[in-house]
Amino acid sequence: MRELNPTDPIGQNVIKLISNVFFSVFVFSVLIFTVIAITYQPPDPWESARTLTRVFTEFENATFQTDNSVLKTGEDIATAPVATPVGSLAPINESTIEKSEEELVKNVTLKSGCNDVSVVNCSDLRVLITIQRFNLRAFKAISFLDYQKPVNGSKPDECDVSWRFRNKKEKSWRRYRDFRRFRIGFKDDCSYKVIRSGRWHSGLNARRPRSRVNATRNGQKPKVAPPSRDDEINDTIPILGSDSSFRKGKYLYYSRGGDYCKGMNHYLWSFLCALGEARYLNRTFVMDLSICLASTYTKSNKDEEGKDFRFYFDFEHLKEVSSIVDEGEFLKDWKRWDKNHKTKIPVRKVASYKVTPMQLKKDKSTIIWRQFDGPDLDNYWYRVCEGPAGKYIERPWQALWKSKRLMNIVTAISGSMDWDFDAVHVVRGEKAQNKKLWPHLDADTSPEALVSKLQGEIAPWRNLYIATNEPFYNYFDKLRSHYKVHLLDDYSYLWGNTSEWYNETTILNGGRPVEFDGYMRVEVDTEVLYRSKKRVETFYNLTMDCKDGINTC
* Span 130-153, pLDDT tens digits: 999 999 999 999 999 999 999 999
Contact between residue 545 and residue 440 where contact means Cβ atoms under 8 Å apart: yes
- For residue 489, the one-letter residue type is D
Can you say whether the dihedral through the CA atoms of 438, 439, 445, 450 is positive or negative? negative
pTM given for the model: 0.81
Q: Which contiguous run of DSSP H or E holds residue 23?
A: helix 9-39
C-alpha–C-alpha distance, residues 531 and 8, integer Å: 82
Q: Which residues 6+ apart lie within 8 Å of 189 measured at CB?
A: none
C-alpha–C-alpha distance, residues 275 and 269, integer Å: 10
Q: What are the angstrom distances between the C-alpha of 110 and each of 116, 126, 285, 360?
A: 13, 10, 61, 73
* 3-class SS of residue 35: helix
Three-point CA angle 383, 385, 388, nearest 5°? 110
Which pLDDT does position 221 carry in this prediction?
43
Nearest by Cα to 185 from 98, 132, 118: 118
pLDDT digits (tens, 9 = 90+) for 54-100: 444 443 334 455 566 777 888 887 665 565 555 566 777 777 777 77
Which pLDDT does position 99 carry in this prediction?
72
**Helical H runs in 383-435?**
404-416, 429-433
- For residue 378, the one-letter residue type is D
- For residue 336, the one-letter residue type is R
C-alpha–C-alpha distance, residues 24 and 17, integer Å: 11
Nearest by Cα to 367 from 348, 341, 342: 348
- For residue 407, the one-letter residue type is M
Which pLDDT does position 414 carry in this prediction?
96
Contact between residue 68 and residue 296 where contact means Cβ atoms under 8 Å apart: yes
Strand order in the sheet with 347-350: 324-326, 284-287, 251-254, 367-370, 347-350
Q: Which contiguous run of DSSP H or E holds residue 367?
A: strand 367-370
Nearest by Cα to 192 from 164, 157, 155: 157
Residues of the chain falling short of pLDDT 50: 1-2, 4, 37-63, 109-113, 211-227
Q: Which residues 6+ apart lie within 8 Å of 480 measured at CB?
A: none
Give the strand pairing for 290-293 and 463-468.
unpaired
Q: Which residues 6+ apart lie within 8 Å of 50 measured at CB?
A: 44, 390
Contact between residue 253 and residue 375 where contact means Cβ atoms under 8 Å apart: no
C-alpha–C-alpha distance, residues 45 and 447, integer Å: 47
- Residue 522 CB neighbours (<10 A): 21
C-alpha–C-alpha distance, residues 189 and 361, integer Å: 74
Q: Which residues 6+ apart lie within 8 Å of 247 measured at CB?
A: 337, 345, 366
Which pLDDT does position 114 carry in this prediction?
62
Which pLDDT does position 90 carry in this prediction?
74
C-alpha–C-alpha distance, residues 161 and 131, integer Å: 9
- For residue 176, the one-letter residue type is Y
Which pLDDT does position 116 carry in this prediction?
63
- Residue 534 CB neighbours (<10 A): 13
β partners of residue 64: 59
- For residue 330, the one-letter residue type is F
